Structure 1
Amino acid sequence: MKNESVKIEDLSGIYLDYAITAHVLQFPLTIDYLPGNRIRAILTKVEGVNKAFSPSSFWAEAGPLIQQYGVSLISGVNGAWTASVNDSRAYTSFDPIEAALRALVAHKNPELEAVDFSWR
C-alpha cells in the first residue's frame, strides 16, 4: 500500500477528483486501476452502477459544484485564476477548474491542510 499526503494547494488531476469525492461530496468511491497499479479513475456509484467521476477534467462535472457552493473565480492579468468560497482562503492556478475545486475542498474542510491517500 502506498501512502502519501498532498497539500490542498498542490491537488490536481486524480488527487483533486479523490478529494472532491471523499471530502466534499462524501460519496462512497472505488479506485479503478490499470495494469501496474496505475490509477485510471475515481469511480462513484450512480443508480447502482460504477461511474467515472473526474470534475478536475470536465466542466460538466465541476460546473454544477462551482455554482452550488458559490465559488468565486477571478481571472488575473498573468493568466492565473484565483478562487475562493465566501471570502475564505483563496487558491490560484492557471486552470480555473483546479483553482475552484481546491477552494471548495478547503471551504468544506477548514481544518484540513493536506489530503491523505492510500493507493495499492
Structure 2
Amino acid sequence: MKAREREGWALDWAVAQITGIELNIIDIPSGPYIGIKGRTSDGFPRKYSPSTDWSQGGPLIEQHAIELHTNIGEQYGEEERWYAIVPTSASGSRGAMGPTPLMAAMRALVFAKLGEEINLPEGLQ
C-alpha cells in the first residue's frame, strides 16, 4: 500500500513503527483495534490513533517540524483539503495530502520516514 494513501488503523500502525511505540493489536469485528501496549483502562489498551487524535498527532507535528497548508482550488476536491510537508534534509522534503490536517501530516511523516510503499505485517492485511 502506498504511504500517501494509508488511513485509519493502517496509517496509525505505520506511525507507530516510526515512533517506536509498542502496540497491542486486537482483532474486533470492525477491524483491528490498535492500542498502546501496557497502558490499559477497563481491560482495553489505550487507543493509538495519531491520525485522528491531536494529543497523539500534534506532538509529532511539532517534533518533526511538519508544515501544514490548505489546498486552495477545486482540483483536489474535499477529500484532499490539506497538504503536509516533512523536511528530510536541509534542502529536501516529502509531502502528502489528506482530508484533515492530522491525516495529511501522518501520511507525510510515514512517506518521509518509511518510503513510498509500506507493507503491513501478516495478519493485518
Give the structure-2-normalised TM-score: 0.76
Q: Which runs of 5+ in 2 are unaligned?
A: none
2:35 to 43, 61, 68: 43
Larger RCO: 1 or 2 (CA < 8 Å, sep 6+)? 1
RMSD of aligned residue pairs (Cα, Å): 1.9
Give the structure-1-normalised TM-score: 0.79
Q: Which runs of 5+ in 1 are unaligned?
A: 1-5
Where does 1:1-120 land on structure 2 (aligned, <5 Å)?
A: 6-22=1-17, 24-35=18-29, 38-46=30-38, 49=40, 50-78=45-73, 80-86=81-87, 87-109=92-114, 112-117=115-120, 118-119=122-123
Moved more, 90-99 or 10-19: 90-99
Note the C-alpha offset of 1:40: 4.0
Q: For 2:86 and 2:111, how far apart are their aligned partners in 1?
A: 9
Structure 2 counterpart of 1:104, one-letter code: L
Q: Percent identity?
A: 31
Q: Name the one with the larger strand percent.
A: 1
Residues matched between the structures, number: 109
Q: For 1:81 and 1:70, how far apart are their aligned partners in 2?
A: 16
